[in-house]
A = this chain, B = another copy of it.
Amino acid sequence: MTTGADVEQQVRAAAERAREASYGLALATRAEKDRALGAMADALLARLDEVLAANADDVRRAEGSGTPANIVDRLRLDPDRVAGMAQGLREVAGLPDPVGEVVRGSTLANGLELRQVRVPFGVVGIIYEARPNVTADAAGICLKSGNAALLRGSASALASNTTIVEVLRSAVEGAGLDPDAVQLVPGEGHEGAKVLMRARGLVDVLIPRGGAGLIRSVVEESTVPVIETGVGNCHVYVDAAADLDKALAIVVNAKTHRTSVCNAAESLLVHEDVADDFLPSVIDALQERGVTIHGDERFAEYDGVVAATPEDWDTEYLSLEISAAVVPDLDAAVRHIRAHSSKHSDAIVTEDLGAARRFTASVDAAAVLVNASTRFTDGGEFGFGAEIGISTQKLHARGPMGLPEMTSTKYVVTGDGHVR
């Protein structure tokens, strides 16, 4: 049995080892990092049996304690999923190295050379839920961006994560880098995560990946700077000037293509000028696909539509449910979105350029989409190649976070004896 003080000491010691490792990693060349990523991928495949055996323990434990089947499914690894993790690491190796990129540069009037250069954060903490594949993803993205990773998965995946991290560490070491660049945060229960959140100065950035509850608790408790990710109460607004065929396709896609993800639509707003034309078809199409509609008075006139409660407008269902309302005009849609959006992704469907301009300028979200499904807000879709999450905050990174978003910058100023 470990005490709180033990855990604090262990987590801080891990963070200090990560800091030491980060110094070497910051100087590692792209070739060295890519070699390590390749070795990590190879090792996961070579030691597949160990990984699957550890995962089987987690799955057995989860089933034994009555965990819902969909959670157990997210926890379960099989040869294909592990191959996917290895493939993900190889893809990260194929991406350009963000470290060393000169973001801005000039020669000042006095001859000083000014360069703003991308550098790693240093030590990055990732707190995440269920899926053990995040362990490999996060380790790979951190390593490529020159950051030491402190990984804190959920207790339910502890055996899987322990083995995966052990496999990755030995590969990193074999490739000549410091294995402390990839560590699991010690400590049982919530203790370890709590110490991590208070390790200001030891940990440079914390990134929570998971449900709204996890993210809220990290944001509120952490004194380490946090990048908030992933809660999405996304809207689709069908304008008076919408092409209703496009609108129908976009609403159906945004709601039903995949329901458990943060860029799925959770709320539909329809301009009243097209309500009589559009409502019957969109209600039919959604209900055909099993979607429950929580509608305002106009929507609730139709069969099968449930009357919306005030809470519905703020709810991220992550399931086959959607809230829906008719609005008098674009400004009312914008006001509704301001009041209820989680500022992730909001879309307008319109053929009117003025309406599109006004909507994109007025809606305050990580992504504002015109005539496109909210499902496109995604690092892969945006061509970033790998994504640690989708930031819904305004500081540092907003929207899908690729490798450049996993870095800070420093100014390098070169003179020849310059004084003021």
State the A residues within 8 Å of B (CB): 23, 26-27, 106, 108-109, 112, 114, 116, 119, 121-122, 200, 204-205, 219-220, 223, 225, 227, 243, 245-246, 249-250, 252-254, 257, 338, 356, 360-362, 364-373, 375-377, 381-383, 393-396, 398-399, 408-420
In the complex, are the beta carbons of B370 and A246 less than 8 A apart? no
A100–B216 CA distance with the chains assembled, in angstroms: 31
A328–B106 CA distance with the chains assembled, in angstroms: 34
In the complex, are the beta carbons of A411 and B367 less than 8 A apart? yes
User: Which chain B residues lie closer than 8 Å to A395 at the CB level?
Assistant: 205, 225, 227, 395-396, 408
In the complex, are the beta carbons of A204 and B394 less than 8 A apart? yes
Which listed residue (B205, B377, B418) contacts A376, Cβ 8 A?
B418
Q: Which of A122, A373, A375 has the most CB of B within 10 A?
A: A373
A347–B6 CA distance with the chains assembled, in angstroms: 39
User: Which chain B residues lie closer than 8 Å to A254 at the CB level?
Assistant: 419
User: Which chain B residues lie closer than 8 Å to A338 at the CB level?
Assistant: 23
In the complex, are the beta carbons of A364 and B410 less than 8 A apart? yes
Closest 9 interchain pairs by CB?
A372-B415, A246-B417, A253-B419, A394-B408, A396-B396, A372-B418, A367-B411, A395-B396, A370-B414
Can you name the residue of chain B whose Cβ is closest to the Cβ of A119?
A: B364
In the complex, are the beta carbons of B420 and A376 less than 8 A apart? yes
Which listed residue (B106, B250, B365, B416) contacts A410, Cβ 8 A?
B365
A4–B175 CA distance with the chains assembled, in angstroms: 59
**A-B CB contact pairs (8 Å), 18 listed:** A121-B394, A200-B219, A205-B394, A225-B395, A246-B416, A250-B418, A250-B419, A364-B410, A367-B411, A368-B410, A371-B416, A372-B414, A372-B417, A373-B420, A376-B420, A377-B411, A394-B408, A395-B395
CB distance from A209 to the nearest CB of B (A): 17
A257–B420 CA distance with the chains assembled, in angstroms: 7
CB distance from A160 to the nearest CB of B (A): 30
User: Which chain B residues lie closer than 8 Å to A114 at the CB level?
Assistant: 382-383
Q: Which of A227, A249, A393 has the most CB of B within 10 A?
A: A393
A106–B402 CA distance with the chains assembled, in angstroms: 15
User: Which chain B residues lie closer than 8 Å to A410 at the CB level?
Assistant: 364-368, 398-399
A89–B419 CA distance with the chains assembled, in angstroms: 28
A278–B223 CA distance with the chains assembled, in angstroms: 43
User: Which chain B residues lie closer than 8 Å to A250 at the CB level?
Assistant: 417-419
Q: Given that A371-B418, A410-B368 are contacting pairs, would A220 and B219 also be in contact in the complex, using a CB cutoff of 8 Å? A: no
Which listed residue (B257, B411, B418) contacts A366, Cβ 8 A?
B411
In the complex, are the beta carbons of B415 and A371 less than 8 A apart? yes
A368–B370 CA distance with the chains assembled, in angstroms: 43
Q: How many copies does the complex hold?
A: 2
Can you name the residue of chain B whose Cβ is closest to the Cβ of A415?
A: B372
CB distance from A115 to the nearest CB of B (A): 9
User: Which chain B residues lie closer than 8 Å to A356 at the CB level?
Assistant: 414
Can you name the residue of chain B whose Cβ is closest to the Cβ of A247?
A: B417
A225–B417 CA distance with the chains assembled, in angstroms: 38
In the complex, are the beta carbons of B415 and A408 less than 8 A apart? no
CB distance from A88 to the nearest CB of B (A): 20
In the complex, are the beta carbons of A368 and B243 less than 8 A apart? no
In the complex, are the beta carbons of A419 and B367 less than 8 A apart? no
In the complex, are the beta carbons of B368 and A26 less than 8 A apart? no
A261–B420 CA distance with the chains assembled, in angstroms: 14
In the complex, are the beta carbons of B376 and A112 less than 8 A apart? yes
In the complex, are the beta carbons of A419 and B225 less than 8 A apart? no
CB distance from A110 to the nearest CB of B (A): 8
A365–B117 CA distance with the chains assembled, in angstroms: 12
In the complex, are the beta carbons of B249 and A413 less than 8 A apart? no
User: Which chain B residues lie closer than 8 Å to A245 at the CB level?
Assistant: 417
User: Which chain B residues lie closer than 8 Å to A106 at the CB level?
Assistant: 383
A316–B279 CA distance with the chains assembled, in angstroms: 66
User: Which chain B residues lie closer than 8 Å to A372 at the CB level?
Assistant: 112, 413-415, 417-419
A375–B419 CA distance with the chains assembled, in angstroms: 8
